Amino acid sequence: MDGNFYLDALVKGDSRVISKVYDTNFKQVKRFILQNKGNTEDAEDIFQKALLQIAVRHKKEGISIKSTFEGFLFTVCKNLWRRELNSHKSRVTNSEVVEQVSEAYDSARAIIEQKRQELFVEMLDRISENCKMILSMFFAKLSYAEIVASTDYTSETVVRQRVFKCKKKLTDLIKDDQRFNSLREL
């Protein structure tokens, strides 16, 4: 079954399919969150938020999934969890001040973040296979020496230049896309 089948089932509230989504995907999300400073309750909250966010976006925007539904859902969960961790990091605790975080604002920010990720992945598909390979190694934080060792490039300088050119090409593609301005930080 393709990803759009699951999107439609989420919007319709098909409990049989939603149960299958839980059974198939929750363990992986839970494992990720437990490994990244969370607990089971956090995993349940994030999973539920992700399903809700996906359903709302599909209903409003008619999104479609180009990868697998499982991969898409996991990415949404990862982004939501990272956002949650970052918001805890930046909060200053003061017993005299009561902080109210708007759930709607937090959800909107998460949706924008997800749309940025989708734009990035889409534009990454448009660059050459060589650039994809070089940038994937670069983004995986491999050193230039490690990249030289696993490619046909002759030196770290050549790899640096190639990474620079590939990043520029990717950046230009992203900036030239009509969605870019609406997804920029306010």
Three-point CA angle 52, 55, 57, nearest 5°? 105
Q: What is the model's pLDDT at position 41?
A: 92
Residues 6+ away with beta carbon under 8 Å from 144 = 156, 159, 160, 163
Full-model pTM? 0.56
Alpha helices, H only, the chain: 3-12, 15-35, 40-61, 69-90, 103-124, 129-139, 144-149, 156-176, 180-183
- Amino acid identity, position 96: E
Query: What is the largest distance, in Å, between two alpha-carbon atoms of the chain?
Result: 60
Mean confidence (pLDDT) of the chain? 83
Q: Which residue has the tokens 């805890």?
A: 88
Q: How far apart are alpha carbons 53 and 55 in whole angstroms? A: 5
Q: Where are the domains of the chain?
A: 1-91+101-121, 126-186
- Amino acid identity, position 94: N
Q: What is the pLDDT of residues 13-32, one digit of tens each?
A: 888 888 898 999 999 999 99
Q: What is the model's pLDDT at position 186?
A: 47
